[in-house]
């Protein structure tokens, strides 16, 4: 594997998370996973934002970017129980898979060649009751 010369910063927001619990709004958290040798491993996760159907997370994911390698990403959306912060007790709401290259080429980021940082704009993960979908968000 070649040494990493570039990093990508990903900022995530969600829009339209449905209320599964009639008594309260979801407490969402997004988990970022990457695939390596056919297995998914957790890279990092956002903070939990209490009672929000359209959270904008402050957590910035920083990922090494290898230009000639397909890097598969999986964004998982969970509703964290107000009594726990762990995923064991959380409700799984959906997931979205893509490659890091797709994120940087869709307008959610720009590619800088050589040593440097690719800073993506935020992008939404829109929840439509069956799946998450990426949507470029023109904010920061």
Tens digits of residue pLDDT in 14-28? 877 876 777 888 898
Tell me what pLDDT residue 49 has.
93
Q: Which CATH superfamily is domain 6-128 in?
A: C2 domain (2.60.40.150)
Tell me what pLDDT residue 89 has.
78
State the DSSP code for 137. -
Contact 65, 73 (CB under 8 A): no
Tell me what pLDDT residue 5 has.
65
Tell me what pLDDT residue 120 has.
43
Place of tokens 């964004």: 75
Tell me what pLDDT residue 111 has.
36
State the DSSP code for 26. -
% of the chain with per-residue pLDDT over 90: 20
Alpha-carbon span 56 to 127, nearest angstrom: 14
Half-sphere exposure in the Cβ direction for 90 (13 Å, CA): 19
Tell me what pLDDT residue 93 has.
83
The whole model's pTM is what?
0.77
Q: What residue spans of the chain are helical by DSSP H? A: 100-105
Place of tokens 């979801």: 26
Tell me what pLDDT residue 45 has.
94
Tell me what pLDDT residue 42 has.
96
Low-confidence ranges of the chain (pLDDT < 70): 1-5, 19, 82-85, 105-140
């Amino acid at each position: 594997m070649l040494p990493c010369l570039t990093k990508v910063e990903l900022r995530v927001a969600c829009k339209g998370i449905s209320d599964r619990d009639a008594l309260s709004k979801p407490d969402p958290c997004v988990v970022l996973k990457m695939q390596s040798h056919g297995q998914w491993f957790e890279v990092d996760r956002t903070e939990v934002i209490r009672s929000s159907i359209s959270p904008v997370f402050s957590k910035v994911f920083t990922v090494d970017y290898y230009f000639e390698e397909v890097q598969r990403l999986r964004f998982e959306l969970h509703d964290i129980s107000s009594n726990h912060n762990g995923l064991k007790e959380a409700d799984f709401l959906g997931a979205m898979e893509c490659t890091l290259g797709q994120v940087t080429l869709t307008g959610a980021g720009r590619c800088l060649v050589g040593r440097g940082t690719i800073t993506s704009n935020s992008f939404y993960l829109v929840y439509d009751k069956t799946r998450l979908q990426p949507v470029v968000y023109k904010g920061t």
